[in-house]
Amino acid sequence: MNIGEAARRSGLPPKTIRNYEDLGLVSPARAPNGYRDYCDRDVHILRFLQRSLSLGFDVSETRRLLAAYAPGARRDEARRLAERRAVEIDRKILELHSLRRALADLMDERDEPCGWPVLEEVPNEGARVARPAL
């Protein structure tokens, strides 16, 4: 199938597909006329790449995930990458909850002295940001 059909089936724009090819993440065959000739496996890989990158894996990690799912490969590397990503997501969730609480405090303030609750919740290398003196 041509790149237009692969794009339609994978949900990715042709430009992204060409970029993945340039990065060596997908390698379609070439038809006698020189055009890319994608197969169903290529489309499956393209969907995998889209999902992997949307989960926050970078290109290097995505390359290692692809290698881990090759026939006969061990899945230990994929498991370690997934565990590391899950820890990062959990950290981000905690940070977002903290920021949400700060926004709720800001929205709930009535006629109290002006403070900076949102800034107090922003991590600063482990230290809280002090309120400015008024």
Categorize the per-residue pLDDT at 83 as very low, low, confident or very high, splitting at 50, 70 and 90: very high
In whole angstroms, what is the distance from residue 99 CA to residue 104 CA? 9
Tens of pLDDT, residue by residue over 42-77, are 999 999 999 998 888 988 899 888 888 878 888 888
Tens of pLDDT, residue by residue over 4-27, are 999 999 999 999 999 999 998 999
Q: What is the pLDDT of residue 128?
A: 47
Q: What is the pLDDT of residue 131?
A: 45
Phi, psi for residue 36 in degrees, rounded to 5:
-65, 140
